[in-house]
Amino acid sequence: MTGAALSAASTGVSPLWYAARATGVVALVLLTLTVMLGIAGVARLTAPGLPRVVTAGLHRNVSLLVLCLLLVHVVATVADSYTQISVVSAVVPFSSSYRTFWLGLGTIAFDLLLAVTLTSLLRDRLSYRAWRAVHLASYACWPVALWHGLGTGTDSRLSWLLLLDALCVAAVAGTAWWRLSLAQPGAGRTAAIAATVLVPLGTAVFVFIGPLQPGWARRAGTPVALLGSATSRGTAASATPALAVPPRMAAFTGRVRRSAGPRAGEVTITVDSRTSDTPQRTLTIVLRGTPDDGGITMSSGTVRLRPGTSGAVSQGPVTALDGHRLTALLRGSGGSQQQADVMLIIRGARASGQLTLRAAARA
């Protein structure tokens, strides 16, 4: 991990993480507008007082803006050390170990839009049939981009984002339905009507059984090298509500050891690290489970925290693990309790992340 990445991690999540998600959301909204303008253009709809050349120019310029936002989205995603997505994975579908299928959909959407843009710039040198065949791919780009965001976006559960996605689906479906009402009956129209109905319905079903369900990070294909999703057996994170006490936060770095687990077929990952605050604290994280794509599917885990080299030790079980983030309930001397929220990134034999401590009420 580079020094710059460590510096970003020490203050929280990298700004690139926010940039990638913000540009992805805005790009989807503008792509929705592009599709609607394209459908309206096919129907030769004109706005009052505006010639078609103006609406056609708006469609073209919004499409270029979408491509620019996607370029920023891709660059921010590749540059962000949070997921280790390579440049190759950004242009070659299904070549990333991080949420392979859902990230691959995003790559396909980007490649399709890039192809549409390039062929539009070279339109004078292409036959109309070839140009139109590629241009029609832009309609496939929209649902693929939508499912990419729902499947791999870490904010998919947020109510405002779900509402925004629903509005985008309703806008495209409504525009497509209006366009189909003007078309002549035929097999093509029937197929288009079926797609207009099935895409929103399939998207709604997917959201309900996928991102809205617990453990989606693991099922979506998050590598367990980034600590795949799991929940500790026999414990409940909700049993220790946090008090209204300001949390203590500190970055940490350390080493990772892997060894055989206590049971046949299990492995143990041990993280020995030190925090960056003063005085330094020793943080030890132990995760046990079955091997899974370079990491483990956790069956149990513990967190141990010692202030300095001889302070009183606080330790306790991992109560929840989801992606990079794990939660543990630490018990110290005198029965004191703290909730430890850890963002942990493992890269080979090195580990880094951020520790947040909150006071917790007794169960």
Tell me the domain boundaries of the chain. 3-213, 224-359
pLDDT number for residue 145: 93
Q: What is the mean pLDDT of residues 69-84?
A: 84
11-25, 103-117, 178-192: least confident range: 11-25
pLDDT number for residue 236: 36
3 pLDDT tier (thresholds 50, 70, 90): very low
In this structure, what is the dihedral angle of CA atoms 181, 185, 190, 192, given to the nearest 10 degrees? -50
Beta strands in the chain (DSSP E): 248-260, 267-275, 281-292, 295-307, 314-322, 325-331, 337-347, 350-359
Query: At residue 240, does pLDDT exceed 50?
Result: no
Backbone angles phi, psi at 258, to 5 degrees: -120, 135
Question: What digits encode the pLDDT tens for the residues 335-347?
Answer: 778 889 998 888 8
pLDDT number for residue 83: 66
Contact 342, 355 (CB under 8 A): yes
DSSP 176-240: HHHHHHHSPSSHHHHHHHHHHHHHHHHHHHHHHHTTTSTTHHHHTT--GGG---B--TT--GGGS
Type of residue at 203: T
Q: What is the mean pLDDT of residues 233-257?
A: 60
pLDDT number for residue 82: 61
Q: What is the mean pLDDT of residues 123-128?
A: 84
Question: What digits encode the pLDDT tens for the residues 19-40?
Answer: 888 999 999 999 999 888 888 7
Q: What is the mean pLDDT of residues 299-310?
A: 84
Backbone angles phi, psi at 329, to 5 degrees: -105, 110
Contact 247, 343 (CB under 8 A): no
Radius of gyration (C-alpha) of the chain in whole angstroms: 25
100 pLDDT tier (thresholds 50, 70, 90): confident
246-to-242, 337, 359 alpha-carbon distances in Å: 10, 15, 8
Strongest mean pLDDT among 50-54, 171-175, 182-186, 248-252: 171-175
Backbone angles phi, psi at 139, to 5 degrees: -70, -35
More confident call, 165 vs 245: 165
Determine the angle formed by the axes of helices 137-152 and 128-135, rounding to 10 degrees: 20
Query: At residue 53, does pLDDT exceed 70?
Result: no
Question: What digits encode the pLDDT tens for the residues 271-298?
Answer: 999 998 878 889 999 988 877 655 567 7
Q: What is the mean pLDDT of residues 222-230?
A: 48
Query: At residue 245, does pLDDT exceed 70?
Result: no
9 pLDDT tier (thresholds 50, 70, 90): very low
Q: What is the mean pLDDT of residues 46-71?
A: 75
Strongest mean pLDDT among 36-45, 66-75, 329-338: 66-75
Task: State how far the Cα of 350 lies from the Cα of 166, in Å rounded to an integer.
Answer: 41
pTM of this structure: 0.61
Question: What digits encode the pLDDT tens for the residues 253-273?
Answer: 999 998 887 777 788 889 999
